[in-house]
Chain A
Amino acid sequence: MSNSRTGTETRTMTSTGPRAESLRPSTGMLTVLRVGISRVGYETRMYFRTTDSVFFTFLFPFIMLAIFTAAFGSSGNIGTAPDGSGGISVGAYYLPGMLAAGMLLSGVQNLAVDIAGEKGDGTLKRLGGTPLSPLSYFIGKIGQVLVTGIFQAALLIGVAGVVLGIDLPTDPEKWLTFAWVFLFGVITSAFLGIALSALPRSGRSATAVVIPIVLILQFISGVYLQFYLLPDWMQNAASVFPLKWMAQGMRGVFLPDSFASLEQNGSWDFPLIALNLGFWLVVGLVLSRVTFRWIRKDA
């Protein structure tokens, strides 16, 4: 498609020009970083001003937790031993799943719908005409996911502890585990969201494409349904995808260790969690890098 005949001409003209055509490395990375950080604030502000994202991404886990607690709260504790000890409330059982759902929604659903929309409404075309580096744009998006995800998780844990009276871990080691699973999971989700945004053909169809994927994952990955009750084949299918591992990691933090025996391998399998999330992080990164375009050229 491109031609080679322009080469000589362009070179001569460029060399006489007062400015280099590419970003100079001396100011380059600093600018990319500075602009990226300024975009985190800009993107976060936009996020909270968009009713759809606040409701379907930010508040959704709260709503689901409230529904599960209200619907099943009266049917007694989960995982109670025959002697009546060791059980936990429905809310306590579902809290890890909702945290995992929040990580997935804040990353995958939020960014896939958001970026596909920006592609469709001309936002990206406008940005593509400015000296904004795609890297700064990514920093802004991932930063937004981190900020809103952390805010969401903190509120969710706060509500669980204060309103629902759920016992939270006191062991600092548990919170350290929480920190890495959460950060790893959210960043993986964010990259997968950027990658997935290439799939919808238009901004309008974005929710129709993205939400079923996210919803099915939540059902098979132990967010809404108790994972240990699912058939083996479904558990195995879910194990391919990252949500199952995020949920398992959160259960490992928030459920008593006695619940580990309900997991597929009878343990929390933290190394496997790290392995799976690492794999999907690389997949998301590569796909984001390969598929992202300011505009669909020559569409």
Chain B
Amino acid sequence: MELSPPVVRVRNLHKSYGDFEAIRGISFNIEAGETFALLGPNGAGKSTTIEILEGYRDRTSGEVSVLGVDPQRGGLGWKSRLGIVLQSTGESGNVTVTEQLTHFAGLYPRPRRVAEVIEAVGLESKAKTRISKLSGGQRRRVDVALGIIGRPELLFLDEPTTGFDPEARHQFWDLVRRLKAEGTTILLTTHYLDEAAQLGDRAGVINDGLLIDIGAIGEIGGADARVPLVRWREPSGELREKRTPEPARLVAELVAASGAEPADLEVIRPSLEDIYLGLVRGSRAPNDAAGVLADDTEVLA
């Protein structure tokens, strides 16, 4: 008997649009209080998956349970326990930040205080400004504010920091950490791998509708993908690189061999981004029917 059941449970999820299989059998759990990062290129199936969990889309087959409820049958009580930050929208925004948050707070049974949420997303100075007059990044913060106003148990963040400046992103990270400290379970998708590394406890990588890896942020991709890389320039001018679990030893050997400081020396520990790119590229076998998604690889490269 598990003490607390997973907040999100997905088993063998499939989703087809006509002949196109967007999701080809995905399984994962998100445990209570966990921040789970769902990563993958555009068109890989991230948004389809998240929208199935949010109840916006119906699955073709498989099992899905979110907060113990099948999203296809989730009622208003179920929705009141979710917070959903969609990818950016283009609403007319003829209301002020305070008006919008006050209105949305009224939809939930036990909302957070409006002023508190406005402060949390750093929009105190814009509280009385109409949303249409805000910058893209500020509007995004309103989206986040609307996602957390209902004090959700499970928060969906779909590319939440798109359009944020670096300072705003760091403030947002602090906010997410605070929500996490309060026990909120979070499902995050992002194209910023540093963001996933900062916030995520675990990550799943989706490519071509399949989950190609899943694990703790510090372990994803396996130990091999984390082997440091040493790069240097030979006296001949040739740029060399070598993967080794003992980079210091290699550097010492290089110094001993040439008797001089190697030019352009770098010791690189693969970042989550490197590991992620390795995973995504590695999963594209030449015979893989991934022609449709070829454009997205370009974006990532």
Give the number of residues in B that approach A within 8 Å (Cβ atoms). Answer: 47
Query: A185-219 interface mask toward B, CB cutoff 8 Å, 1 = contact, 0 = none?
Result: 00000000000000000000000000000000000
Which of B62, B82, B86, B94 touches A50 (beta carbons < 8 Å)? B94
Q: B81: which A residues are within 8 A, CB to CB? A: 19
Which chain B residues lie closer than 8 Å to A295 at the CB level? 56
A9 to B108, CA, bound (A): 28
B171 is an interface residue with CB less than 8 A from chain A = no
Distance in Å: Cβ of A50 to nearest Cβ of chain B: 6
Question: Is B68 at the interface (CB under 8 A from chain A)?
Answer: yes
Q: Is B60 an interface residue (CB 8 A)?
A: yes
- Are A35's CB and B106's CB within 8 A? yes
Shortest beta-carbon distance, A54 to chain B, in Å? 11
Instruction: Give chain A residues whose Cβ lies under 8 Å from the Cβ of B72.
Output: 2
**Are B69 and A14 closer than 8 Å at their CB atoms?**
yes
Q: Mark B78-108, 1 if CB is under 8 A from A, else 0.
A: 1111101010011110110001000110111
A173 within 8 A of B: no
**Are A298 and B91 closer than 8 Å at their CB atoms?**
no
B-chain residues with CB within 8 Å of residue A19 when the two chains form the complex: 77, 81
Q: Is A74's beta carbon under 8 Å from chain B?
A: no
B39 touches A (CB below 8 Å): no
A265 at the interface (CB under 8 A from B): no
Q: Known contacts A3-B62, A121-B91, A122-B90: does B69 contact A10 (CB below 8 Å)?
A: yes
13 contacts between A and B (CB under 8 A): A10-B70, A19-B77, A19-B81, A23-B75, A42-B99, A46-B92, A49-B94, A122-B90, A130-B108, A131-B80, A131-B109, A131-B150, A132-B107
Residues of B within 8 A of A (CB): 5, 17, 54-65, 67-70, 72-82, 84, 86, 89-92, 94-95, 99, 103-104, 106-109, 130, 146, 150
Query: 5 nearest interchain CB pairs?
Result: A122-B89, A22-B75, A129-B84, A131-B80, A13-B68
Q: With A19-B77, A24-B77 given, name 7 new contacts (CB 8 A).
A: A3-B63, A13-B69, A17-B69, A45-B95, A121-B90, A131-B77, A297-B56
